[in-house]
Amino acid sequence: MLELVIAGGWVMVPILLLAVAALGISLERLWTLRRREVLPPGLGDEVRQWARGRQLDPKHVDVLRGNSPLGALLAAALDVRHRGRDVVKERIEDTGRHVVHELERFLPMLGTIAAVAPLLGLLGTVLGMIQMFLGILEAGVGDASRLAGGIGQALVSTAAGLLVAIPALVMHRFFRARVAVFVIDMEKEAVALVDAIDDLAAPPRKGKGPSA
């Protein structure tokens, strides 16, 4: 393995660094974007029960805010629950942008790695071909070692760049899709909470009196 890295030339150094970064980001996002951490089971139902029972102590709301991304979104709605549906929806949208930004942390970097790694591999290929042609100019086509060195650098660097880029691209698309699913589910929970708040704010319906 070390011989292959050496044969790939100096471009192997940044490619390996990108591989380490991609692996670290993937592991961190796999741990952070667990469904039970983003959307704790039963949290939406519990908060709606709080709202219906008017058990909305400020301390409970603060704990909810730090519970999870979904908790932060629901807490934002509860903060302005007395200010009308439009204000509540606006606060949810504002908070939702911050929540999504946190969920997508490091994903742009992972996408950049997927784009840059094959370019570095291509750069190694070009440098290897240049080395090969320079070897031909200096020693002619009879020096097989020079030709092999240039071809080896070209092939190894290209393969290394693709080996880093392909998994990075797959993981980037995977995490983006997971975040999109989480966002849809959080929107459903937020809408359900807004409806529950509206039901509490609506005046009680009066039944019809006895007919004369």
In a domain, 209, yes or no: no
Kindly report which listed range (123-132, 134-143, 169-178, 183-192) carries the lowest average pLDDT score. 134-143
Q: Kindly state the tokens that stand for 144.
A: 């097989």
Kindly report which listed range (60-69, 89-98, 138-147, 201-210) carries the lowest average pLDDT score. 201-210
Mean pLDDT score, 24-46: 93
Q: Which of 183, 177, 180 is nearest to 96 (CA)?
A: 183
Number of domains in the chain: 1
In a domain, 160, yes or no: yes
Kindly report which listed range (17-26, 45-54, 135-144) carries the lowest average pLDDT score. 135-144
Q: In sequence order, what are the residues at sequence separation of 6 or more whose Cβ sits closer than 8 angstroms to the Cβ of residue 2?
A: none
Mean pLDDT score, 135-160: 68
Q: How many residues does the chain have?
A: 212
In a domain, 101, yes or no: yes
In a domain, 206, yes or no: no
Q: Do residues 179 and 100 lie in contact, with contact meaning Cβ atoms separated by under 8 Å?
A: yes
Q: Where would I find the H helices in the chain?
A: 2-7, 12-32, 35-38, 43-53, 58-65, 69-79, 85-103, 107-139, 144-201
- Residue 140 or 117, more confident: 117
pLDDT reported for residue 41: 92
In a domain, 177, yes or no: yes
pLDDT reported for residue 84: 81
pLDDT digits (tens, 9 = 90+) for 39-76: 999 998 988 888 777 667 788 888 888 889 999 999 99
Range of the domain at 149: 2-201
For residue 99, count other CB atoms closer than 10 A to its CB: 23
pLDDT band at 34 (very low <50, low <70, confident <90, very high): very high
Mean pLDDT score, 175-199: 91
pLDDT reported for residue 211: 46
- Asked if the model's pLDDT at residue 145 lies above 50, the reply is yes
Task: Give CA angle at 180 (175, 182), nearest 5°.
Answer: 95
Tell me the HSE value of 12 on the side-chain side, using a 13 A CA sphere. 19
pLDDT digits (tens, 9 = 90+) for 150-169: 666 678 888 899 999 999 99
- Asked if the model's pLDDT at residue 99 lies above 60, the reply is yes
Q: Do residues 167 and 15 lie in contact, with contact meaning Cβ atoms separated by under 8 Å?
A: no
Mean pLDDT score, 94-110: 94
Tell me the HSE value of 137 on the side-chain side, using a 13 A CA sphere. 6
Q: In sequence order, what are the residues at sequence separation of 6 or more whose Cβ sits closer than 8 angstroms to the Cβ of residue 116?
A: 18
Kindly report which listed range (18-32, 42-56, 133-147) carries the lowest average pLDDT score. 133-147
Kindly report which listed range (28-32, 75-79, 194-198) carries the lowest average pLDDT score. 194-198
Q: Which of 78, 70, 132 is nearest to 100 (CA)?
A: 70
pLDDT reported for residue 212: 37
In a domain, 100, yes or no: yes
For residue 67, count other CB atoms closer than 10 A to its CB: 16
In a domain, 120, yes or no: yes
In a domain, 210, yes or no: no
